[in-house]
Amino acid sequence: MTTTKGTKEWAKSNFNISIGCENDCKYCYAKAMAHRYGRVQRPFWKHMRNKTYAQIVLQIKRLPKPLELNLQNPNNIENPELLDIMFPSSHDITEENLERACYALSKLLEKGYTVLIVTKPRLEVIAELLYRFQRFKSAILFRFTMTSGDDQALQYWETNASLSRERMICLYLAYKAGFSTSVSIEPFLEDYTLIEHIKKIQKYVTQDIWVGPMNFTHVPKEYIQELNQAEYYTKENLIRIKQEIDALGFDNIKYKDHFLNKINGGSK
């Protein structure tokens, strides 16, 4: 059974410039951890606190150099697909922190880091990133989080994030601009649009599509009980869903480790 967790499946290190996230997703791991350890109470997570430019510069100075990132973990050498930096990993890029995000990205890219930009994309934000970072496109992979094709599910779980059509437009624009593109369907929020959702996305993805279930260990119980969401993520249902996805014949589908672990070792 595999044991890789979280951002380590995607990048050697991660970088954040904000505390909190205005998306205010109900399943957010970062929000749950901030609440658990008394850093930010749940109701205040949506009010982002951005680091200063001086703090961003200091944070970048403390990063190991690109070649040194492999020395921190020998497994990095064995996985050439891993990019150096996942940005961001605990918040999103929105209009509110866009300028600071661009500043941080410029510094990282100029120092030679490859960057995985992970976001629930907003049109204004993506248009600006595509414009500003054309010359660094070979060092950037966009991974858009597109967890459902159903706006009702998106509005419930990802309260203030963009809706399905806007995310699809952003994916299309990044693809047409010549950037490398990828999609994360983690967590998939429902299973009734999933197959058609993947088929629509596939046309504009140059790299991979990641699929993963929700991790309920940090989701407040009332949200699970209200929609009976747990039924989507039983071992039996995950096996069925994987079979249906595999039947599409796409060779760029990847399953998050906790998806595979639940199928191989979890209970129904």
What pLDDT score was predicted for residue 67?
Answer: 83
What pLDDT score was predicted for residue 68?
Answer: 87
Place of tokens 């998939």: 188
State pTM to two decimals: 0.92
Kindly report the three-state secondary structure assignment for every residue of 117-155: EEECCCHHHHHHHHHHCHHHHHHEEEEEECCCCCHHHHH
CA distance 16 to 191: 31
Domains, the chain, ranges and CATH? Answer: 6-265 (3.20.20.70)
Residue 65 DSSP code: P
SS3 247: coil
Nearest of 102, 110, 182 to residue 146 by alpha carbon: 182
The number of helices, as runs of H, and strands, as runs of E, in the chain is 12, 9
| Contacts for 207 with CB less than 8 Å, ≥ 6 apart | 141, 180, 181, 182, 252
Contact 141, 180 (CB under 8 A): yes
- Compute CA distances 121 → 106, 109, 220, 262, whole Å: 19, 20, 25, 29
What pLDDT score was predicted for residue 258?
Answer: 87
Partners of residue 185 on adjacent β-strands:
211
Contact 86, 118 (CB under 8 A): yes
What pLDDT score was predicted for residue 3?
Answer: 46
Each residue's pLDDT expressed in tens, for the chain with a length of 268 residues: 444 555 778 999 999 999 999 999 999 999 989 988 888 998 999 999 999 999 999 999 999 998 888 777 666 655 667 999 999 999 999 999 999 999 999 999 999 999 999 999 999 999 999 999 999 999 999 999 999 999 999 999 999 999 999 999 999 999 999 999 999 999 999 999 999 999 999 999 999 999 999 887 777 776 665 555 567 788 999 999 999 999 999 999 999 998 999 898 754 4
Contact 23, 145 (CB under 8 A): no
CA distance 243 to 106: 42
Place of tokens 């699929």: 211
